[in-house]
Amino acid sequence: TISSTAEKVVYLVVFHLSFVMFVWSYWKTIFTSPASPSNEFCLSKADKEQYEKEERPESQQEILRRAAKDLPIYTTTASRAIRYCDRCQLIKPDRCHHCSACDICVLKMDHHCPWVNNCVGFSNYKFFLLFLMYSLLYCLFVAATVLQYFIKFWTNELPDTHAKFHVLFLFFVAAMFFISILSLFSYHCWLVGKNRSTIETFRAPTFRNGPDKNGFSLGCSKNLREVFGDEKKYWLLPIFTSLGDGCNFPTRLVIMDPEQLTASSQNEPAKSSGTNQSFPTRPLSESQNRLLASDSQWVESGPEEENVKSGAKKHIIVSLES
């Protein structure tokens, strides 16, 4: 039993606070509509009619390339084609995927979650993370407060009433949910640190120089800010503070082996500058995202150059942007 009034007050405050934050995050995750691409990614009426008339894939791709010329798109399919959704009839922005369950294209789609009956993507990914975190804390709180009665049950110190079975059930349910949610929450924390979605973990986005699973990673600190925003006081509240618009994402510089660079240079000889670097050291089109406001982030090769020893492969910094 709780011995003092002060302990009862603390217990009730923690219990209700954790429960309120859990329900609030869960509610926002469920009822926040998945963000879809803006109208600028839709084909014009003339292009759409011409696209539907064309039977050759090459001609269709030419129409899509012309339509995507001024769009902030830097990733393609594995076959180097423009990512186009025939169902929604729009050019997919980077990190956008079509959800068969919701039947819409979702910006920065992570996965469709049956537990919340909603797509988890750019518009509600922060809410989903907070939902996991507060679920974890809530289960931990329940298991911790029931633990003393659970121990008494096994030592036969608990009165012989039907309540002891309720205690046993409650402890095991809280413990099992805690373990399962902990693994899921840890996985998504790792994804945030790497700036990847679940889809990108299994299928790396393809840039001009090939697939790169770390193509959108800007460093752990910037990756965290991209999801939770600049204001730390709002990080633990289920209100939308993510940076960007979901259609345009800053990308990183990738370090490639000479063999891969040579193959890429042969495919695009016209873009070679004639020097040791075939591409500029910065993307051709920088996002206005605040994450790229500082020039200090471009110096990413320092620690790796210090680790290069004699006989090791030399690396060359190239841009991902097309």
Task: Render pLDDT for 168-214 as a digit per residue (tens, 0 to 9).
Answer: 888 889 999 999 999 999 999 999 999 999 999 999 999 988 899 99
Give 129-157 pLDDT, tens digit per residue.
999 999 999 899 888 888 887 777 777 77
Q: Which of 238, 179, 187, 243 minimizes the C-alpha distance to 216?
A: 243
Structural domain tally of the chain?
2
Which two tokens mark 152? 């008494």
Which two tokens mark 295? 């020039």
Contacts (Cβ under 8 Å, ≥6 apart) of 93:
37, 41, 71, 72, 73, 107, 246, 247, 248
Q: What is the pLDDT of residue 312?
A: 35
Q: Who has greater pLDDT, 12 or 233?
A: 233
Q: What is the pLDDT of residue 169?
A: 84
User: Are 204 and 145 members of one domain?
Assistant: yes
Phi and psi at residue 297, in whole multiples of 5°?
A: -70, -20
Secondary structure class of 113 (helix, strand, coil): strand
Which pTM was predicted?
A: 0.76
Report yes or no on 148 lying in a domain: yes
Residues involved in catalysis: 113
Report yes or no on 321 lying in a domain: no
Helices (H), the chain: 5-31, 45-53, 57-67, 125-154, 163-194, 198-202, 220-228, 258-267, 302-307
User: Are 195 and 166 members of one domain?
Assistant: yes
Q: Who has greater pLDDT, 82 or 299?
A: 82
Q: Who has greater pLDDT, 291 or 122?
A: 122
| Listed range (33-47, 149-163, 215-229) with the worst mean pLDDT | 149-163
User: Are 148 and 45 members of one domain?
Assistant: no
Distance of CA 235 to the CA centre of its chain: 16
Which two tokens mark 282? 């910065």
User: Are 22 and 147 members of one domain?
Assistant: yes
Residue 289 has pLDDT above 70, yes or no: no
Contacts (Cβ under 8 Å, ≥6 apart) of 106:
34, 35, 36, 96, 97, 98, 99, 119, 121, 122
User: Are 132 and 222 members of one domain?
Assistant: yes
Report yes or no on 256 lying in a domain: no
Which two tokens mark 225? 């800010």
Give 253-267 pLDDT, tens digit per residue.
444 433 343 444 444
Q: What is the pLDDT of residue 163?
A: 66
Q: Which domain holds residue 125?
A: 5-35+121-234
Report yes or no on 221 lying in a domain: yes
Distances (CA, A) of 74 to 36, 70, 167, 217, 218: 18, 11, 55, 14, 16
Distances (CA, A) of 263 to 129, 259, 289: 40, 6, 32
- Dihedral angle over CA of 89, 91, 94, 99, nearest 10: 10
CA angle centred on 43, ends 41 and 45, rounded to 5°: 145
Contacts (Cβ under 8 Å, ≥6 apart) of 269:
none
| Listed range (60-74, 127-141, 255-269, 302-316) with the worst mean pLDDT | 302-316
User: Are 196 and 220 members of one domain?
Assistant: yes
Distance CA 317, CA 217 (A): 15
Q: What is the pLDDT of residue 161?
A: 65
Q: How do 84-85 and 90-91 pair as beta strands?
A: antiparallel
Domain endpoint, select from 234, 253, 284: 234
Domain endpoint, select from 115, 150, 170: 115
Contacts (Cβ under 8 Å, ≥6 apart) of 19:
138
Q: What is the pLDDT of residue 32?
A: 96
